[in-house]
Amino acid sequence: MSPFMIGPYYRPQLTSMMSFAHRATGVALAVGALVLAAWLVAAAGSAEAYAAFAACLGSPVGKLGLFAFSASLVYHFLNGIRHLFWDAGHGYEIPKAYASGYAVLALSVLLTAALWWFALGGVA
């Protein structure tokens, strides 16, 4: 189903929205990979370049971007595992597809929260 048909012609469903989100997070991860490459270039360059880049990532907008990148990474990874099970022929039934979708969403929230809790010094 084409994405432009969701809404006026078809009711959004969990499976179609997760498919769209999987593609969107893939794009976000590609952009994030470019930011990672820029960070490595800054780290290989001068101390001033690295400090400027670190300050940019440490800003509220930078932290929001890092959060979005980490959430995209976790979701895309977990949904990719779900797709691997589908490739093996498991979980095609509608109840199982919805259950695995909700599990991916819940685990994505929990693992992203745990990642940021650890990253922000949640463990003494």
23, 106 contact by CB (below 8 A): no
Domains of the chain: 14-116 (1.20.1300.10)
Residue 108's nearest CA partner among 84, 73, 81 is 73
Torsion angle defined by CA atoms of residues 40, 43, 45 and 46, in that order, rounded to the nearest 10 degrees? 160
Name the stretches of the chain with pLDDT < 70: 1-8, 124
3-state class (DSSP) for residue 12: coil
pLDDT of residue 118: 92
pLDDT tens across 18-42, in order? Answer: 999 999 999 999 999 999 999 999 9
How many whole angstroms from its chain centre is CA 103?
15
Calpha distance 77→111 (Å, rounded): 11
